[in-house]
């Protein structure tokens, strides 16, 4: 999904284990993004990984977001992950 969105909140980055990373760890940060239009528009909690996790965004900022939605099965249950592929600050 590619969309202009508003930042609601961003958490602090933290290290998580990753088999894909050279040193076995990758930085991760969660961000809350809301579609534009009103107070009750759809809101998404997405994960930012790697260098993107160290970027700081503030509540109210407009961003162009490219999100990837993926599902996976674990122990017979289905889970959905939202990953930030790209996040660009828009000038207000």
- Residuewise pLDDT in 10s, the chain (92 residues): 999 999 999 999 999 988 777 778 999 999 999 999 988 999 999 999 999 999 999 999 999 999 999 999 999 999 999 999 999 999 86
Helix (H, G, I), strand (E, B) or coil at 82: strand
* Selection from 78, 7, 1 nearest residue 36 by Cα: 7
Residue 70 has a pLDDT of 95
Indicate the domain borders of the chain.
2-89
Q: Which CATH class is domain 2-89?
A: mainly beta
Residue 92 has a pLDDT of 63
CB 64 within 8 A of CB 47: no
Residue 23 has a pLDDT of 79
């Amino acid at each position: 999904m590619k969309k202009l969105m508003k930042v609601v909140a961003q958490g602090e980055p933290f290290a998580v284990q990753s088999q894909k990373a050279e040193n076995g760890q990758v930085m991760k940060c969660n961000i809350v993004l809301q579609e534009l239009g009103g107070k009750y528009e759809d809101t998404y909690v997405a994960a930012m990984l790697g260098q993107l996790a160290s970027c700081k965004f503030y509540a109210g900022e407009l961003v162009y977001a490219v999100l990837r939605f993926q599902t996976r099965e674990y122990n017979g249950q289905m889970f959905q992950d939202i990953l930030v592929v790209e996040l660009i600050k828009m000038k207000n």
